[in-house]
């Protein structure tokens, strides 16, 4: 199951932005069971993403990708006792004004894949700085392969029913997908005193392959709205929003 929790925060601090998301991860870890936190560390991946949405009102957004993560992460945050938290480095006490959650069964994505046609265009909006890593180097110029490889890996890690990562499928998807529009800017994301080079903005990808391949790309993209894309999504990077584009576009 895929779950999104949005917590509206009572703060107007101008210096409380998405770059504080790594601090929020610490707050999140304090709310969960220590045994579960240790198991996540040992397995090497995080079945959730989180970031700070700094739109018209500031919202802390936490999303989970498995049933267990929902129980161990979302439910403690939904507890009536969790009404505020402290940012010690900023000496800030932040109240939670409102909590809203929504649940999407993962099978809904699969049903959409098998039954619904879709546009061959996808618009990726990177809401927080995103980056990839290859051969020890940060990649700040995204291409279709890095995006889809990241999403395939995350989906496979979250699913016990199927392994979504297949090198041949990734090659076919990458070779038949191309970036047709982008509006990106380079930036940094601070993590524990280190500035990670990253990018932020929007890009559009067109899949030139079959309808099945386009639906597969959409499936990965929809999942990416919960898992995030790229590195350190549990610390606030790679928050993703997807919008399908009109099929008449060339």
pLDDT classification of 176: cutoffs 50, 70, 90: very high
- The predicted structure's pLDDT at residue 249: 41
pLDDT classification of 17: cutoffs 50, 70, 90: confident
* Among 41-45, 153-157, 168-172, 212-216, the least confident range: 41-45
Cα-based distances in Å from 39 to 32, 46, 88, 243:
12, 10, 27, 34
Q: Using one digit for the tens of pLDDT, what is the confidence trace for 96-147?
A: 999 999 999 888 888 888 876 788 999 999 999 999 999 999 998 889 999 9
Residue 232 has pLDDT above 90, yes or no: yes
* Among 165-174, 215-224, 241-250, the least confident range: 241-250
- The predicted structure's pLDDT at residue 109: 84
Residue 66 has pLDDT above 90, yes or no: yes
Residue 16 has pLDDT above 70, yes or no: yes
Instruction: Give the separation between CA 160 and CA 163, rounded to whole angstroms.
Output: 8
Q: How far is CA 13 from the centre of its chain?
A: 25
Instruction: Give the separation between CA 37 and CA 50, rounded to whole angstroms.
Output: 15
When mean pLDDT is compared over 2-16, 51-65, 170-184, the highest value belongs to: 170-184
Instruction: Give the separation between CA 186 and CA 173, rounded to whole angstroms.
Output: 26
Mean pLDDT over each residue of the chain, to the nearest integer = 89
Residue 227 has pLDDT above 60, yes or no: yes
Tokens linked to 148: 């889809």
Instruction: Give the separation between CA 202 and CA 192, rounded to whole angstroms.
Output: 27
- The predicted structure's pLDDT at residue 161: 63
């Amino acid at each position: 199951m895929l779950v999104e929790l949005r917590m509206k925060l009572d703060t107007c601090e101008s210096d409380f932005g998405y770059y504080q998301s790594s601090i929020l991860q610490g707050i999140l870890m304090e709310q969960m069971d220590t045994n579960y936190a240790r198991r996540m560390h040992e397995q090497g991946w995080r079945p959730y993403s989180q970031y700070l949405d700094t739109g018209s009102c500031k919202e802390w957004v936490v999303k989970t990708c498995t049933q267990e993560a929902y129980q161990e992460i979302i439910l403690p945050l939904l507890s009536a006792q969790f009404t505020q938290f402290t940012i010690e480095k900023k000496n800030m006490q932040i109240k939670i004004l409102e909590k809203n959650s929504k649940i999407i069964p993962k099978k809904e994505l699969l049903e959409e894949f098998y039954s619904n046609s879709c546009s061959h265009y996808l618009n990726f909006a990177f809401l927080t700085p995103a980056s990839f890593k290859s051969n020890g180097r940060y990649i700040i110029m995204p291409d279709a392969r890095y995006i889809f490889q990241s999403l395939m890996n995350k989906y496979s890690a979250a699913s016990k029913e199927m392994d979504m990562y297949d090198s041949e499928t990734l090659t076919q998807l990458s070779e038949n997908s191309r970036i047709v529009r982008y509006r990106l800017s380079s930036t940094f994301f601070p993590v524990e005193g280190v500035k990670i080079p990253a990018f932020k903005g929007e890009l559009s990808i067109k899949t030139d392959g079959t309808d099945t391949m386009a639906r597969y790309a959409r499936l990965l993209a929809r999942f990416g709205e919960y898992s995030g894309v790229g590195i350190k999504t549990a610390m606030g990077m790679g928050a993703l929003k997807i919008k399908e584009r009109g099929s008449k576009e060339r």
